[in-house]
Amino acid sequence: MSFRSPHQARSYKSRIVAPLSVATTALFWFYGPTAIAQGVLEFQTAQNSETEVTAQNKLFVNPNQGNDSSGNGSESAPFKTITQALRQAKPNSTIRLSPGTYSAETGESFPLMLKPQVTLEGDTSTRGRGIIIQGGGVYLSRTSARQNVGLVAADGATLSGVTLTNDNTSGYALWIESASMEVTDNTFTGSGHDGISVVGNSAPRIRGNHFVENGANGITIYGTSRPQLVENVFERTGFGINIGQKAEPILTGNQVRQNRDGVVIHGFARPVLRNNQIESNQDNGVVAVGNSRPDMGTSGNPGGNVVRNNGQMDINGSATKEIIPAFGNQVASDRTSGRLDLNGTLNPNLSAPVATAPPRPLPLPAATPAPTPPPTPASFPSPTAATPQPNPPLSATVSLSVPAPGEGIAIPVPPPQTGTAPAPRTPAPAPAIGNRSGDTLPNLLPVPNATPPLGNGGAGVPVVGVPSGGAGNGPPSPPSHAAALGLRYRVIVNATSSRDQARVRRVVSDAFRTQINGRMVMQVGAFATQDKVDEMMQLLQRNGLTGVVVNIE
């Protein structure tokens, strides 16, 4: 064992050797001097081994003073890049980052592949201020094709005290796919798409992070993932938290503020929200779409969420088919829409069926039908663009080509649209929900849907038929379902391969296959007004897809 000074050696002797002197005298009499010397040697060897193991389990990186060639990862001879440190790191080790920027310019090779049971650590007290990992590279995701990613998660890894940014157009700072890891006390800012994407079957714990000014979303949670989001801050981005497909995250104690929309839930997602503050978002606080059903509180487990001061609605459930449990929150009753169980009477384990009126013949259109204004739909602006982009004139002759798949998961989720329909002769009243006076089930037409609202069916793939008028002196043919509902336009995308179809569904989760004139296409919407068509075309254009508008006669 070596000592830095004679004083250290004397101190060591007084602590270790002196207390042994009395016992040593007795042991000399019993065992003899050889055995005693051997025991002291073994003790010193164990001490040295423990020191070496500790040194091996911690690697140091400094982008300004480190050197990957001559450095060994020690504090006095650090590596220059995280890339090199990850190559050398063994399980149960920690990579300690010095202040500075870690980028391609300093030698990093992106994406950085984290390793199981390895911790990447900066300064947790400041959430990584001044310790910046900046950049991204091509990563081939098992579930989401090609992406541009800064860091790729590993099962059992830990990421803490770092600032992460991937300013590529479709850049994600951290990609977590079918992995469980700890992500604590970091800052995610300035990424072109998202701070974090959680996909596949992942169950990370994401705690105490700051998501600010990312391009599309603070975080996206897809697949069957069940992450825990605890005490994070999401602000000044497109959607603060975007939850889709069959994900079931648990959101506890988060602050979601000053985004375009706070928490957007779609697909068949079933998130649980408890004790979050969701306020001052530009449009909606919480938005539920399609078959999604957030659990915002039950009589046995009140929500405790504070949802207030959002631009349009605090809780907007007008575009979901489900009843939303929302008991025990601070939310104004006149700032909600849709079917909300505010009294805690709903069994949250049961899916609420969609109430439908009994089938009846469609009425013939009047000569001059008086349109009924549709209910105000949920607003779903695309967070990927600050200002709308101009579109070319829409016509049925627009090219149907689909570009090659691009970077990133397309996050904006357009709402189901409602058409303007002639007033039926015998209107059916909307069924009451029972929460409060006037809280009823709106007559929604989710478009698109897994069961297409347009077309005359087919074997597995719906075939769209355009009705024709009557001939001779007989009465005209009854209007199609679409025409009766006031729908005038459908928007389709040419997508014949499963890859292209999956890409379309990443942009519009409820898009479905259909045939028009013998051609297989994906229908992404049917609309009553031109402005809604324009919104959908802009959404497709921003995500590298080319749509075509077909008139519904």
**Whole-number Å distance between alpha carbons of 413 and 242:** 9
**Whole-number Å distance between alpha carbons of 263 and 112:** 29
pLDDT in tens, 339-376: 999 998 876 554 433 333 333 333 333 333 344 343 33
Cis ω for the linkage preceding 448 (within 30 of 0):
yes
Return the pLDDT at 228. Answer: 98
Higher pLDDT, 193 or 463: 193
Return the pLDDT at 173. Answer: 98
Higher pLDDT, 550 or 401: 550
Return the pLDDT at 541. Answer: 77
Distances in Å between the alpha carbon of 141 and those of 243, 407, 408?
18, 11, 10
Higher pLDDT, 56 or 105: 105
- Judged on CB neighbours under 10 Å (0-12, 13-18, 19+), 84 is buried
Return the pLDDT at 47. Answer: 54
User: Which of 3-12, 122-131, 252-261, 512-521 is predicted with the least confidence, judged by mean pLDDT?
Assistant: 3-12
Contact 485/424 with Cβ under 8 angstroms?
Answer: no
Contact 148/173 with Cβ under 8 angstroms?
Answer: no
Going by the DSSP 8-state scheme, the letter that residue 505 receives in this structure is H
Whether residue 506 is predicted with pLDDT greater than 50 in this model: the reply is: yes
- Judged on CB neighbours under 10 Å (0-12, 13-18, 19+), 219 is buried
User: Which of 74-83, 156-165, 365-374 is predicted with the least confidence, judged by mean pLDDT?
Assistant: 365-374
Query: What's the first-to-final CA gap in the chain, in angstroms?
Result: 91
The encoded tokens of residue 240 equal: 């603060």
Return the pLDDT at 377. Answer: 39
Element (H, E) at 288: strand 284-290
Contact 422/369 with Cβ under 8 angstroms?
Answer: yes
Whether residue 225 is predicted with pLDDT greater than 70 in this model: the reply is: yes
What is the sign of the dihedral through the CA atoms of 157, 251, 339 and 348? Answer: positive
pLDDT in tens, 472-500: 333 333 434 454 455 778 888 888 787 78
Contact 428/359 with Cβ under 8 angstroms?
Answer: no
Distances in Å between the alpha carbon of 407 and those of 68, 138, 169, 172?
32, 9, 8, 10
Return the pLDDT at 498. Answer: 77
pLDDT band at 34 (very low <50, low <70, confident <90, very high): low
The encoded tokens of residue 306 equal: 């504070």
pLDDT in tens, 403-451: 333 333 343 433 333 333 333 333 333 333 333 333 332 322 233 333 3
Number of other residues whose CB lies within 10 A of the CB of residue 276: 28
pLDDT band at 56 (very low <50, low <70, confident <90, very high): low
User: Which of 21-35, 149-163, 432-446 is predicted with the least confidence, judged by mean pLDDT?
Assistant: 432-446
pLDDT in tens, 294-315: 999 999 999 999 999 999 999 9
Rg (CA), the chain: 31
The encoded tokens of residue 64 equal: 């300004």
Whether residue 287 is predicted with pLDDT greater than 90 in this model: the reply is: yes
Contact 335/305 with Cβ under 8 angstroms?
Answer: no
pLDDT in tens, 112-129: 999 999 999 999 999 999
Query: How far is residue 356 CA from its own chain's centroid?
Result: 32
Query: How far is residue 48 CA from its own chain's centroid?
Result: 48
**Whole-number Å distance between alpha carbons of 274 and 292:** 17
Contact 441/430 with Cβ under 8 angstroms?
Answer: yes
pLDDT band at 90 (very low <50, low <70, confident <90, very high): very high
Classify 147 as helix, strand or coil: strand
